Amino acid sequence: MASSRFIITVIGSDRVGIVARITTVMADFNVNIVDITQTIMQGIFTMIMLAEAPQDNFDLAAFQEAMGAEGKNLGVEVKVQHEDVFRFMHRV
Amino acid sequence: MLINPNEILETIQMVRMEHLDIRTVTMGISLRDCSHPDIEVFNENIYEKITARAKELVRTTNEIQSLYGIPIINKRISVTPIAIAAESCRSPNFVSVAKTMDEAAKESDVDFIGGFSALVHKGATSGDLKLINSIPEALAGTEKVCSSVNVATTRAGINMDAVGLMGEVIKRTAGLTADRDGIGCAKLVVFANAPEDNPFMAGAFHGIGEPECVINVGVSGPGVVNAAIRELENPNLTEISETIKKTAFKITRMGEMVGREVSRRVGVEFGILDLSLAPTPEIGDSVAAILEAMGLERCGTHGTTAALALLNDAVKKVGQWLHPQ
Q: For the segment B218-241, what is each residue's pLDDT rounded down to a tens digit?
A: 888 788 888 889 989 889 989 999
Interface check A81 vs B, CB under 8 A? yes
Neighbours of B11 (CB within 10 A): 25
Nearest to A5 by CA among A84, A78, A75: A84
Alpha-carbon distance values, B317 to A77, B7, B272, B324 (Å): 37, 23, 16, 10
Q: What is the band of B19 on the pLDDT scale with cuts at 50, 70, 90? A: confident
Which alpha helices (H) appear in A2-83, and where do they start and end?
18-28, 60-74
**Dihedral pair phi/psi, residue A2, rounded to 5°:** -75, -40
Please tell me which residue of chain B has the smallest CA distance to A48: B5
The sheet with strand A5-12 has its strands ordered as A32-41, A44-52, A5-12, A76-82
Domains of chain B in sequence order: 21-213 (3.20.70.20), 221-322 (no CATH)
- Strands B72-79 vs A5-12: parallel, antiparallel or unpaired: unpaired
* Distance, CA of B259 to CA of B265 (rounded, Å): 10
Residue ranges, chain A, pLDDT below 70: 1-3, 92
Alpha-carbon distance values, B121 to B124, B190, B209 (Å): 8, 11, 17
| Residue-range domain boundaries for chain A | 5-90
Instruction: Say whether A47 sits in a helix, a strand or coil.
Output: strand
Q: Which of A21-30, B199-208, B312-321 has the lowest mean pLDDT?
A: B312-321
Residue B322: predicted pLDDT: 66
Bridge partners of B207, per DSSP, are none
B10, pLDDT greater than 90: no
**Average pLDDT of B68-94?**
93
B1, B8, B68, B219, best to mutate vs chain A, most A CBs in 10 Å: B8
SS (H, E, C) B43-54: HHHHHHHHHHHC
Residue B67 has its nearest CB partner, among A9, A60, A89, at A60
**Does domain A5-90 match CATH 3.40.50.300?**
no
- Strands B21-29 vs B72-79: parallel, antiparallel or unpaired: parallel
* Distance, CA of B303 to CA of B295 (rounded, Å): 9
Residues of A in contact with B250 (CB under 8 A): 89-90
State the burial class of residue B265 (Cβ atoms within 10 Å of its Cβ: 0-12, 13-18, 19+): middle
